[in-house]
Structure 1
Amino acid sequence: MSQPRHFQNNLERTEKLSGQEPVVTVLPSLTQALKVLQKAVATGEGLRGPSVYTGLPGIAFVYLHVHQVLLRNAALAKQLGHQDPIWAEGAAGFLEAAAAILEATAPVACSLHSRHPRMTFLEGYPGVIALQAVCYHHRGKQREALQAAQVLETMASSVTECPEGECEVLYGRAGYLYALCFVQKHLGSEAISSAILETICLQILQEGAANVDMDASLRSWGLMYQWHYKQYLGGCHGIAGILYTLLLSGSALERVITAGDYRTRLQAAASSLLDACFPSGNLPPSLGGRQDTLVQWCHGAPGLTQLLAEMCQSRWQPLFGDELQARARATAERAGNTIWERGLLTKGLGLCHGISGNAYALSAAARAGDDQQMHHSALQFGLFMAEHWEKLYPLPDHPSSLFEGLGGAVCFWMDILDDINQAHFPGFEL
């Protein structure tokens, strides 16, 4: 008999927690987990390769996230500083730890890039150099930060020359676009060339339009993408992740769709994606899929809720209109309910196909409809991880990593201690 995909959810969804209860539950687990990651940095245990996804740079991302939380939440930083020596150096200590990891891994990632180039934030040198740029910036080294941003920009020509099917988040153009947007968020809009952003956005749109124009059965979609000969729909390899990343580029996308005929195509793609959802709000892994089974970021509703939340932002009302925004909110509610019911995954703590990714997906669903019960649902997932993390930790292939393991849980626990209403999926949302 095969292992069930998820644990039975016996958590209380509507129970009101006292102010300190999340802290009491999360803090001991968070502290011990950081020590596990500290050991992993020293030994490489539970990690693989120089990628943000499963490697040391992912731990640098975790440390950068801890730094950001402690920097903006002085009261929390003061409270944690008295808890354990691992917190003693505060925000600055985690920033320096992130910088040290990146300094050590950047040459390895660069060498690998020259032999087997991967062009995305999660899988490849762009993620390492983007993180370096941001670390330099927060350390006050603006010249080095801008130099790193320029190195990232030089990769654009290689990205535009990628094979036609390479547009998704994990290995394709959208993953490179995310790296640009990540740097721009931290360093400011002037740090990344608007022309490069627009070029990548335009090529992604052109690829999606060309796929539709070659296949009459896809005409209603406006845009469609395929990876390994399959039309995936989710966040990792599919159109949900691609559309979401396009929206992250903000004004660059707006300029491109104003100059071209892509407005109606984006509307059609978003509408068709909502139509493709199961009645449960879950998303099939690929076009035509009929099995409502996978509830994880890489395949399923947890990779869709971020797009739904972004679609509901007021800046996109002129693009999507009231009716499509209302449909997005309704779909987010159904998706969130399904994630709540089936999202305590037995694969472990990770972001890609684990519980922390589903916790972040619940947070996105909450933002789509300003739904406090959904935020509470996300919190309960975080508390479940804190109570059971030692049993869940060894389950994935790379248990210390950001996207498969403990790193994702650490990020979410920090968001619980800070402000769960502002929790955003690491390496996917901004």
Structure 2
Amino acid sequence: MQYLPNILFVLLLICGIGFFIKNVGRLRRNILLGKDVDVSDEKPVRWRNMVKIALGQTKMVVRPVPGILHIIVYVGFIIINIEVLEIIVDGILGSHRIFAGAGKLYDVLIGSFEILALLVVIAVIIFWIRRNLIRLQRFIKPEMQGWPKKDGNLILYIELVLMMLFLTMNAADFQLQQLGSEHYVQAGSFPVSAYLGAFFEGMSESNLIILERTAWWLHISGILFFLNYLYYSKHLHILLAFPNTYYGKVTPKGQFKNLEAVTNEVKLMMDPSVDPFAAPAEEDISEPGKFGASDVRDLNWVQLLNSYTCTECGRCTSECPANQTGKKLSPRKIMMDTRDRLEEVGKNIDSNKGTFKEDGKQLLDNYITREELWACTSCNACVEACPVSIDPLSIIMDMRQYLVMEQSAAPSDLNNMMANIENNGAPWPFNQMDRLNWSQES
């Protein structure tokens, strides 16, 4: 019976970490359903982007209020969880505050954790008010109804509860230290929970131990629950922001990729030494494959990584000129739809023993409409606004490419423009000889 708590803790730890590893495997499998893409270039630039954007949060503070609050929550939640290491060691060995031997350094750490925990509580409350009472426009868009809204609030509730459990655990511990209770060593500085401890001054030693142990177990259980909830939440960006910013686009934002098959054909047409009427050599005949993308498996794996990294913050949508003028396009919805379809494909593979069974659906039309795709002005405002280097425009352009080159389904105005460029050398329906006639009019 003496070691029963240790055994239960180890079992809890194994289950929590085991489910997390399983979720990571599923996540990796889904992302790698995308096409391969070479991202081995510009490594120093990529490392610099990851340090500045993911670790340094430089793009978050472009909007100071939410940016600073996010940094408080981010830094506070990560640093406070350093104490989780101590909790894990204590849980396995049956010890209590095993790192207390660090002396003054330990006091500084615990005191810092507590101040950060209080700041996280304040920031979370402000975030909740912004989402639910002030109702900022980017949080009440159509794509944020239902589960996305519940998920955003649930994350705030979880963070609030975890911080309060942390402070309650320390407050009870502080009171037990004052009573000189066995097993509760004199260690740590408690600038916040010492004040909370005033609420527990009349409690007996046995009740304080029950309170401290209950808060301790709930805190570590909550951490493990949160770890596994990440897969089902927009908060996957806590883990994926680092690889996503590393693999983000490093070429100029206005630069679009060229299709190799089309580039080769144009080069062939422009080569004066080539007979345009000659049949191609047999070895030169190759299937160009599918042009563009109509489903998630037509996208590359970096684009799929983008979809899982989306924080649903809505900065991209709030900056989108098409969305601002009432068009249906929302870059955030593009990423959310891509992630939802990818999850659907992944579940299909799981239920069919590792192979995908056609389900009569695809990303185009079933999730993302053509109206949304053609509303995009390709201005890159969404890419510039994203705090974690997500590129919704690349998905939009790939799907447009499919519509034009596979289905010849461009809007009539665009078809007219391209025909005019082909025939007249300009997007206007005027013969080149008549182009300057306007200058002769009185």
Give the TM-score taking structure 2 as reference length.
0.25
User: Normalising by the residue count of structure 1, what TM-score does the alignment of the two structures yield?
Assistant: 0.26
Flag the structure with larger Rg.
2
